[in-house]
Amino acid sequence: MSKERKQSTVAATRHGPGLVVTRVTRALEDGRHLVATSRRHRKGLAAHVAAPEDSARIPPTRSEALRHFWAPTRLAWWVAVAFMLGSALFAVGGWGATWPASTPSFMQSASLLNWIFFLGSLFFTAAAYLQLLEATNGDVVDALAPERPAWRWFGWKPHNLGWCASVIQLVGTVFFNLNTADAMLTGLDWEQQDLLIWTPNILGCACFLASSGLAWVELSGGAASFAPRSASWWSVILNGLGSIAFQLSAVYAFVRPGTPDPSELWLAGFWTFAGALGFLFGSYLLIPELFDGDAQDDS
């Protein structure tokens, strides 16, 4: 599609469930729409062109985008890399907690596994903070404006589901920081373990689950979508499944009086490992998504 395409002078129209905005459209002279979606815009991707009846459809990812990886000048790339590192560390920790006999002897130390989880939580927090900056400065309501707004370190954008999801996920990562730091304390009784370790764990997992739900609505523009050719769609799906797995791990991690149930300990470690894998692959897909930035003609 020619870059010289003339745009209509018709004002942009906002769309989304309730008071939130998930996409902005503008009619073109040829009858089609220029469509900017919340997720694509905050990732720094261009608007795409679609027929009016297809303006809500999630555009497929170009095949060539899947062959790229390196983009350190893009904020979204650092978001993806930080989430991948955090997920990888959680996967290693979850593996060591679930199948300790299969890990190297130096990793069979509970103290080392706790440090691995703590370091992973720090990468999660860094990624979530960068993601919030991305959402603050990539508000879809500004997508078709003549000029890009000035960079902001802080903002209040409750109409933007990407921003809301990022805030909630950042809070969740801070809970994980507390959970993993407190797990390194020794000499705690079962009540102290539940208060200091399990409580921030379950709250952090609940935040991740809520954030994944908002990310799904942001991408879909509503309750449902099916776009298996989209890297964005698969990323949201995998992160959502990872959040569910993390929530299950927290449920099984609840400490009761007496001797811990070995089966519950195993399930807590297994679901942590499974959730980390979901986030790892979901985070990786954030990278090819960045190379799908050219405006697309869906006709």
Q: What is the pLDDT of residue 53?
A: 85
pLDDT at 203 over 90: yes
Mean pLDDT, all residues of the chain:
90
Q: Is pLDDT of 35 > 70?
A: yes
Domain ranges of the chain: 66-290
- The pLDDT assigned to 205 comes to 98
Q: Please give, one letter per residue, the 3-state secondary structure of the chain.
A: CCCCCCECCCCCEEECCCCCCCEEEEEECCCCEEEEEHHHHHCCCCCEEECHHHCCCCCCCCHHHHHCCCCCCCHHHHHHHHHHHHHHHHHHHHHHHHCHHHCCHHHHCHHHHHHHHHHHHHHHHHHHHHHHHHHHCCCHHHCCCCCCCCCCCCCCCCCCHHHHHHHHHHHHHHHHHHHHHHCCCCCCCHHHHHHHHHHHHHHHHHHHHHHHHHHHHHHHCCCCCCCCCCHHHHHHHHHHHHHHHHHHHHHHCCCCCCCCCHHHHHHHHHHHHHHHHHHHHHHHCHHHHHCCCCCCECC
- 47 pLDDT more than 70: yes
Q: At residue 119, does pLDDT exceed 90?
A: yes
Model confidence at 259: pLDDT above 60: yes
- What pLDDT score was predicted for residue 7? 45
pLDDT category at 146 given cuts 50, 70, 90 is confident
pLDDT digit string (tens) for 224-257? 889 999 999 999 999 999 999 999 999 999 999 9
Q: For 57-115, what is each residue's pLDDT tens digit? A: 888 888 888 888 899 999 999 999 999 999 999 999 999 999 988 888 777 788 899 99
Quote the pLDDT of residue 293. Answer: 64
